[in-house]
């Protein structure tokens, strides 16, 4: 899990001056959607983009498009070097004016409605292979996914595992397109020198609406600071056609020494590497601070034992992929709840990773029915642990009755008789 | 899951002639059950995709379904080929579909094969309920079930590779149909894999096999390649090989496998691809570490449900004239004297409770490329 976690984070490998250059270069960018033209290094994510192009497989990385800058112009600009002469820099100044106006508007709009900051532009480039691209001045990564038939569950909607797989994919692709997957652990040079890696500690997912087979969802992801020594990665999943928000998620990461396995503060050198890539936004999901209780045999109402990883559950480091934990957690959730309700919210705390030879058990307790002011909502507590006792994940889930919400076009297709 | 192709106007005419329905749109109208559909599917200069979309929107009773279908079609990277007799789609390999070898797992490949088969059927306007049954089949409570699946992979795609899968179906004997696939790497154009599968028709209530009746055949025969087109045209190819049943005592086993929620389809049966994972569970680790799966053939005998517990058994497949290495229970059959890097195994999945066979399989493994 650690390795997987690490590679899912986001690490710049440029040092500060380059980043400042990149911010200056943003000013000269046009706001036009260049429709898939590969932007050369002077694009707003600037030097990061250089490295992405250098490292990414040439046959794939042709769809990076940079949109208008959103966040205001940073005040810490220092002198910048001249950007190389490229197509972008030869755009006339009127587009810069347009960009500035759009930026101000978007920034203002974003302040008003946090969840609705994405402009709805029907002419947005459709990402042909679902590779994804950097948008919003290089700080946000966007990727589309078409829901495949094997990703839907028994109720014909995408499973929560599918949604979380998409989140994981965009996180890794974010790093990749910014040229950050150096040694496979995704650590910055500063982190590598000190044997540091990122580890996910907490994840919150709120699902407003589940997509179905054939739907196309758009996933946006970005990173921010979390406290003094952590990092937060947020995701926003929307219906790519209507813009309706489907899912919001937020994860918290801390730095750990991979040899001693002890948590570490972010060293100054590393802070300089990563901070330019933080978006200073509010969390996309309101943090659920309630303590997660540890279940045991006496408090758990449902237990499923003998859970073992299959070969396909393992990542390249032979650790179990994080997302599989969610499936195991749901194994002990009573079928009655799973059949009549849908998961609307989930909070997970990650404790330990497990590997091929682990044998796990999943415990569930129903902790609340009809509370939180919502009729019919159910809350459960969960524990996933090795049979010998070590905790892997603690969790809390909330469930609402199926078809309780009516969110326009994304209603589940009524079951057809076969 | 189903897979019927659709053809454009020109081929429709040709096919109709060949199917003894010259000059009429009889089968098409009856299949669609909508006069408007017959008109829209007839002579026009629509490209296959447009033809499909326009027909899609007129397929009877489910407006929500057709709207979702057309959006997905527009954004999907797949469509019918020029002659309308096969379907191609591109897929990008996602990071979570990649396994310990840094390449797509065989389950991912199998999932994509199933996906493209379903999309093929859906592009023709058949039901999206997961069984891709035609209207006549639904009326008669008939569904397709997989009898055999055979996949060969020559080169596994890696994360973010784009592959293109072409699929088509045709008649096979009196009770079956077959679906074939060819997988190509989009970047290089090379064929990276081939697969074929055999399906039989079953009554979903009685669970008994049923012959493919003429009216069902009419519905799809029109749209299959007229000449047999096989992904494995070579004689005596491995997709035809009979699989022997593994007998006790078995060399390797993994007992007590249970379906997870995610393994179950809409009718609470374990989906086909899960069996592949179970078969591999009892593979000896020393082979998994050093070799990659080249070929897998599975014969599906009995379906498996949520509460079943399954044992996975593996043993070397002994070939005539082969050399057996090792003596202390680690015997592995080598196929050819000069090819020490290839291993073959037989597999059996059976119920823990009473030993009933669920499916049997055969795999071939080659040394991992360095």
B41-49, long-range: CB < 8 A, 24+ apart: B41/B9, B41/B12, B42/B9, B42/B12, B43/B9, B43/B13, B44/B9, B45/B9, B46/B8, B46/B9, B47/B8, B48/B6, B48/B7, B48/B8, B48/B79, B48/B80, B48/B81, B48/B82, B48/B84, B49/B73, B49/B79, B49/B80
Condensed to tens digits (0 to 9), the pLDDT of residues B329-359 reads 444 444 443 355 679 999 999 999 999 999 9
Whether residue A114 lies inside any domain: the answer is no
Condensed to tens digits (0 to 9), the pLDDT of residues B107-120 reads 999 999 999 988 88
H helices within A84-242, ranges in order? Answer: 93-112, 160-177, 189-193
As given in the structure block, the two tokens for residue B120 are 């093929």
Prediction pTM value: 0.70
Min mean pLDDT across A126-140, A399-413, B252-266 is at A399-413
Which has the closest alpha carbon to B129: A80, A125, A415?
A415
Whether residue A218 lies inside any domain: the answer is yes
> Do A152 and A259 fall within a single domain?
yes
Whether residue A8 lies inside any domain: the answer is no
As given in the structure block, the two tokens for residue A302 are 């449902």
Instruction: Look at B281 and A314 and tell me if their CB atoms are within 8 Å.
Output: no
- pLDDT for residue A106: 63
> Do A302 and A342 fall within a single domain?
yes
Residue B267 a catalytic site member: yes
- Judge whether residue A227 has pLDDT over 80: yes
- CA–CA dist A35, A124 (Å, integer): 8
What is the rounded radius of gyration, in angstroms, for the C-alpha atoms of chain B?
A: 22
A215: nearest CB among B68, B96, B280: B68
As given in the structure block, the two tokens for residue A180 are 């950050």
CA distances from A410 to A103, A212, A243, A398, B74 (A): 31, 8, 11, 20, 18
Whether residue A195 lies inside any domain: the answer is yes
Q: Are strands A196-207 and A341-350 parallel, antiparallel or unpaired?
A: antiparallel
Query: Which domains, ranges and CATH numbers included, belong to chain B?
Result: 1-62 (no CATH), 76-232 (3.10.129.10), 242-370 (3.10.129.10)
Min mean pLDDT across A296-300, A343-347, B141-145 is at B141-145
How is B284-349 classified by DSSP, letter by letter?
Answer: -HHHHHHEEEEEEEEEE-S--BTT--EEEEEEEPP-TTPEEE-SSS--EEEEETTEEEEEEEEEEE
By CB neighbour count within 10 A (0-12 exposed, 13-18 middle, 19+ buried), where does B47 fall? middle
Whether residue A49 lies inside any domain: the answer is no
By CB neighbour count within 10 A (0-12 exposed, 13-18 middle, 19+ buried), where does A52 fall? buried
pLDDT tier at B310 (50, 70, 90 boundaries)? very high
Any B CB within 8 A of A303 CB? no
Any A CB within 8 A of B187 CB? yes
- CA–CA dist A408, A22 (Å, integer): 41
Residue A285 in 3-state DSSP? Answer: coil
- CA–CA dist B127, A418 (Å, integer): 8
- Judge whether residue B218 has pLDDT over 90: no
- State percent of chain A over pLDDT 70: 62
Whether residue A249 lies inside any domain: the answer is yes
Any B CB within 8 A of A112 CB? no
- The residue from A270, A285, A300 where one domain ends is A285
Any A CB within 8 A of B56 CB? no
pLDDT tier at B326 (50, 70, 90 boundaries)? very low
- pLDDT for residue B12: 33
Condensed to tens digits (0 to 9), the pLDDT of residues A376-418 reads 889 999 999 999 989 999 999 999 998 765 443 344 444 443 3
Any B CB within 8 A of A357 CB? no
A-B contacts at Cβ under 8 angstroms? 136
- pLDDT for residue B345: 94
> Do A172 and A294 fall within a single domain?
no
- pLDDT for residue B163: 95
- pLDDT for residue B225: 73
Residue B304 a catalytic site member: yes
- pLDDT for residue A373: 58
> Do A306 and A260 fall within a single domain?
no
- Judge whether residue B47 has pLDDT over 60: no
- pLDDT for residue B60: 36
Task: Pick the catalytic residue from B13, B19, B171, B269.
Answer: B269
Q: Which residues in chain B have their CB less than 8 angstroms from residue A323's CB?
A: 96
A214: nearest CB among B69, B131, B162: B69
Instruction: Look at A311 and B111 and tell me if their CB atoms are within 8 Å.
Output: no
Condensed to tens digits (0 to 9), the pLDDT of residues A246-270 reads 999 999 988 888 888 888 999 998 8
Question: Across all residues in chain B, what is the average pLDDT?
Answer: 74
> Do A180 and A272 fall within a single domain?
yes
Q: Is the dihedral of CA B27, B28, B29, B30 positive or negative?
A: positive
A224 touches A234 (CB < 8 A): yes
A418: nearest CB among B69, B105, B133: B133
Residues 253 through 312 of chain B touching chain A, CB cutoff 8 Å: 256, 258, 260-262, 264-268, 271, 273, 277, 280-281, 288
Min mean pLDDT across A154-168, A329-343, B331-345 is at B331-345
- CA–CA dist A156, B191 (Å, integer): 33
- The residue from A285, A310, A333 where one domain ends is A285
Residue A234 in 3-state DSSP? Answer: strand
Any A CB within 8 A of B326 CB? no
How remote is the C-alpha of A374 from its chain's centroid?
Answer: 28
Min mean pLDDT across A50-54, A79-83, A225-229 is at A50-54
> Do A272 and A130 fall within a single domain?
yes
> Do A145 and A270 fall within a single domain?
yes
- pLDDT for residue B365: 95
Closest residue, chain B, to A147 (C-alpha):
B72
Q: For chain A, how many structural domains are there in total?
A: 2
- State percent of chain B over pLDDT 70: 69
Catalytic annotation, residues of A: 317, 319, 354
Q: B125 or B239, which is more confident?
A: B239
> Do A359 and A396 fall within a single domain?
yes
Any B CB within 8 A of A323 CB? yes
> Do A137 and A234 fall within a single domain?
yes
Whether residue A188 lies inside any domain: the answer is yes
Residue B303: how many other CB atoms lie within 10 Å: 17
As given in the structure block, the two tokens for residue B23 are 């000059």
Residue A178 lies in domain: 124-285
Q: Which residues in chain B have their CB less than 8 angstroms from residue A161's CB?
A: 262
H helices within B154-263, ranges in order? Answer: 214-221
pLDDT tier at A166 (50, 70, 90 boundaries)? very high
Whether residue A164 lies inside any domain: the answer is yes
> Do A233 and A266 fall within a single domain?
yes
Q: Which residues in chain A have their CB less than 8 angstroms from residue B108's CB?
A: 312
Condensed to tens digits (0 to 9), the pLDDT of residues A142-160 reads 999 988 888 887 778 899 9
How is A39-53 classified by DSSP, letter by letter?
Answer: P-TTSTTHHHHHHHH
> Do A250 and A347 fall within a single domain?
no
Min mean pLDDT across A17-26, A100-109, B287-296 is at A17-26
- Judge whether residue A12 has pLDDT over 70: no
- pLDDT for residue A82: 52
Which has the closest alpha carbon to B26: B44, B42, B5?
B42
- The residue from A285, A310, A345 where one domain ends is A285
Q: Which residues in chain A have their CB less than 8 angstroms from residue B2's CB?
A: none
The whole-angstrom distance between B99's CA and the closest CA on chain A is 5
Closest residue, chain B, to A241 (C-alpha):
B71
H helices within A305-372, ranges in order? Answer: 322-331, 335-340
How remote is the C-alpha of B353 from its chain's centroid?
Answer: 29
Instruction: Look at A149 and B288 and tell me if their CB atoms are within 8 Å.
Output: no
Angle at A13 between CA A8 and CA A18, to 5 degrees: 135
Q: B176 or B197, which is more confident?
A: B197
Supply the ipTM of this predicted assembly. Answer: 0.71
Q: Which residues in chain B have their CB less than 8 angstroms from residue A331's CB?
A: 260-261
- pLDDT for residue A107: 60
- pLDDT for residue B248: 83
Q: B73: which residues sit within 8 A by CB, 6+ positions away?
A: B49, B52, B53, B56, B79, B123
- pLDDT for residue A380: 94
Condensed to tens digits (0 to 9), the pLDDT of residues B58-95 reads 333 344 444 444 444 544 568 888 777 889 999 999 98
Q: Which residues in chain B have their CB less than 8 angstroms from residue A176's CB?
A: 160
> Do A295 and A398 fall within a single domain?
yes
Which CATH number does the domain housing residue A216 bear? Answer: 3.10.129.10
Q: Can you name the residues that pair with A385 across neighbouring β-strands?
A: A361, A391
B261: nearest CB among A148, A169, A331: A331
As given in the structure block, the two tokens for residue B364 are 């071939």
Residue A276: how many other CB atoms lie within 10 Å: 20
Q: In three state form, how does the secondary structure of B8-46 look?
A: CHHHHHHHHHHCCCCCCCHHHHHHHCCHHHHHHCCCCCC
Dihedral angle at the C-alpha atoms of A198, A203, A208, A210, nearest 10 degrees? 70
Task: Pick the catalytic residue from B119, B304, B343, B347.
Answer: B304
């Amino acid at each position: 899990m650690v390795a997987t976690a690490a590679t899912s984070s986001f690490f710049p490998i440029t040092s500060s001056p380059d980043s400042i250059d990149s911010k200056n270069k943003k000013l000269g960018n046009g706001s036009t959607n260049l429709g898939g033209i590969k932007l050369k290094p002077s694009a707003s994510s600037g030097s990061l983009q250089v490295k992405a192009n250098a490292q990414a497989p040439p046959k794939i990385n042709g769809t990076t498009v940079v949109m208008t800058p959103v966040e205001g112009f940073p005040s810490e600009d220092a002198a910048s070097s001249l950007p190389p002469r490229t197509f972008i820099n030869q755009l006339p100044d009127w587009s810069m004016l347009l960009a500035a106006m759009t930026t101000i508007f978007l920034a203002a709009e974003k302040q008003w409605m946090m969840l609705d900051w994405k402009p709805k532009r029907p002419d947005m480039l459709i990402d042909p292979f679902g590779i994804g691209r950097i948008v919003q001045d290089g700080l946000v990564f966007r990727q589309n996914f078409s829901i495949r038939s094997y990703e839907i569950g028994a109720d014909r909607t995408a499973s929560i595992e599918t949604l979380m797989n998409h989140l994981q994919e965009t996180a890794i692709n974010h790093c990749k397109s910014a040229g950050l997957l150096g040694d496979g652990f995704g650590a910055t040079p500063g982190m590598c020198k000190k044997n540091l890696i990122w580890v996910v500690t907490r994840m919150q997912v709120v699902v407003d609406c589940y997509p179905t087979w054939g739907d196309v969802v758009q996933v946006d992801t970005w990173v921010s600071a979390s406290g003094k020594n952590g990092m937060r990665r947020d995701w926003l999943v929307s219906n790519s056609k209507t813009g309706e928000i489907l899912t919001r998620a937020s994860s918290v990461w801390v730095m750990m020494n991979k040899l001693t396995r002890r948590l570490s503060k972010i060293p100054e050198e590393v802070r300089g590497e990563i901070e330019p890539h933080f978006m200073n936004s509010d969390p996309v999901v309101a943090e659920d601070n309630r303590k997660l209780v540890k279940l045991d045999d006496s408090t758990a109402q449902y237990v499923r034992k003998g859970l073992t990883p299959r070969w396909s559950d393992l990542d390249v480091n032979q650790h179990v992929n994080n997302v599989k934990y969610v499936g195991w957690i749901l194994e002990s959730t009573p079928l009655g709840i799973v059949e009549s309700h849908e998961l609307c919210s989930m909070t997970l705390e990650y404790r330990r990773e497990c590997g091929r030879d682990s044998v796990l058990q999943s415990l569930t307790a129903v902790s609340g029915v009809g509370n939180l002011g919502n009729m019919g909502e159910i809350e459960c507590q969960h524990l996933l642990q090795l049979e010998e006792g070590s905790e892997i994940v603690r969790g809390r889930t909330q469930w609402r009755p199926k078809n309780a919400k009516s969110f326009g076009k994304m209603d589940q297709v009524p079951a057809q008789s076969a | 899951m189903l897979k019927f192709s659709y053809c454009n106007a020109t081929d429709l005419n040709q096919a109709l002639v060949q199917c003894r329905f010259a000059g009429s749109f009889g089968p098409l109208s009856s299949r669609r059950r909508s006069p408007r559909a017959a008109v829209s599917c007839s002579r026009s200069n629509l490209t296959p995709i447009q033809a499909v979309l326009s027909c899609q929107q007129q397929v009877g009773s489910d407006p929500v379904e057709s709207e979702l279908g057309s959006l997905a079609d527009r954004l999907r990277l797949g469509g019918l080929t020029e002659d309308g007799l096969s379907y191609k789609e591109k897929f990008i390999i996602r990071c979570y579909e990649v396994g310990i070898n840094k390449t797509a797992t065989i389950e991912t490949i199998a999932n994509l094969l199933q996906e493209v088969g379903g999309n093929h059927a859906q592009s023709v306007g058949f039901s999206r309920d997961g069984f891709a049954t035609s209207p006549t089949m639904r009326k008669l409570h008939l569904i397709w079930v997989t009898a055999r699946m055979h996949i060969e992979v020559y080169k596994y795609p890696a994360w973010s590779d784009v592959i293109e899968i072409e699929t088509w179906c045709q008649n096979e004997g009196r009770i079956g149909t077959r679906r074939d696939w060819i997988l190509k790497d989009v970047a290089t154009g090379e064929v990276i894999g081939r697969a074929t599968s055999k399906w039989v028709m079953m009554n979903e209530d009685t669970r008994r096999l049923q012959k493919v009746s003429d009216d069902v055949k009419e519905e799809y025969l029109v749209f299959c390649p007229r000449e047999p087109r096989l992904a494995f045209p070579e004689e005596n190819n491995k997709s035809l090989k009979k699989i022997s049943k593994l007998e006790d005592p078995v060399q390797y086993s993994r007992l007590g496998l249970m379906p997870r929620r995610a393994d179950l389809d809409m009718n609470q049966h374990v989906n086909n691809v899960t069996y592949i994972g179970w078969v591999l569970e009892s593979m000896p680790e020393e082979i998994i570490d050093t070799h990659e799966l080249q070929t897998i053939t599975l014969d599906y005998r009995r379906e498996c449900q949520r509460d079943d517990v399954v044992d996975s058994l593996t043993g070397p497949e002994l070939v005539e004239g082969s050399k057996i290495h090792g003596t202390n229970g680690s015997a592995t059959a080598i196929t050819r004297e000069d090819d020490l890097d290839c291993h073959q195994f037989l597999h059996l999945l059976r119920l823990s409770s009473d030993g009933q066979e669920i499916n049997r399989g055969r795999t071939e493994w080659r040394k991992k490329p360095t």
